[in-house]
Amino acid sequence: MPKPVAREPLRRNSRSNRARILATARLELGRNPDITLEELARAAGVVRRTLFGHFPGRAALLEALAEEASDTLRSAMEAGAKPTEPEPELAPESAERALAHFVVAMWPVGDRYRMLLSLARRDLGAERVAEILAPARDEVTAILERGQRDGVFHTLLPPAALSAGLEGMLLALLESVNIGALEDDGTRAAVVALVAAGVPEERARAVVGEVASGS
């Protein structure tokens, strides 16, 4: 009888190819949003048939990147973002620290997937982008609502509208990184977000400095 084919190495190789293709796509699409799948295959070091076996078209590839971005965002929120409502036995974190912590923690995720910003509306659609960003929007809105209630953020706008404004600004800053107009590890963006929410600049810098140093 013929020996059974060892399928696990094949599956491992398939997973490795898929991960390499996605990693290459994140990099190359950021450089050239109009790169072809054939060019991506060459850049990833795989044959055209391998790439199309995982992603039969550009839409499938971008959807996979969107799903990866969504999963990464949720994981980062669970692992790094502070809760907006702490346990009763814990001292509450101020809303200004919570907002600074959130921006600093989420910035690497946005930086990693910033190329999606230039492709999103054209290839994925506004609804899919909104779905990806929904958890972050809800978290920031909750932080802003608490900060307004505590008197540390201005009340010129309702929390949801202020959250949308901050989101637009942060996305614009990420796009500035994308085109090389800005270098930031998230701390400058966090200071700007606090200032836009109504925190004096000196206080904003101090809060972000504490958050970034882990103190």
CATH number, domain with residue 42: 1.10.10
pTM for the whole structure: 0.75
75 shares a domain with 39: no
Q: Which of 139, 115, 142 is nearest to 129 (CA)?
A: 115
The pLDDT, as a whole number, for residue 88 is 47
Given 31, 56, 81, the domain boundary residue is: 56
| Two tokens, residue 128 | 């899919």
> Pick from 169, 174, 145: which is nearest to 157 by CA?
145
Q: Say yes or no: 126 and 50 in one domain.
A: no
Per residue in 188-208, pLDDT (tens digit) is 999 999 999 999 999 999 999
Token pair listed for 151: 């008197």
pLDDT at 6: 52
Q: Give me the pLDDT at residue 124, please.
A: 78
Q: What is the rounded distance in angstroms from the CA atom of residue 83 to the CA atom of residue 13?
A: 39
Q: Are 95 and 133 in a shared domain? A: yes
* Cβ pair 109, 186 in contact under 8 A: no
Output the pLDDT for position 71: 83
Provide the CATH number for the domain around residue 101: 1.10.357.10
Domain that holds residue 166: 58-213
Same domain, 52 and 84: no
- Does residue 52 sit in the same domain as residue 137? no
- The predicted structure's pLDDT at residue 55: 93
Tell me: the pLDDT tens digits for 92-132?
689 999 999 999 988 888 877 777 766 766 777 778 878 88
Number of domains in the chain: 2
pLDDT score recorded for residue 209: 95
Contact between 37 and 52 (Cβ < 8 Å): yes
Integer Cα distance of 111 and 170 in angstroms: 11
Residues of the chain with pLDDT under 70: 1-10, 79-92, 117-118, 120-121, 215
pLDDT at 153: 98
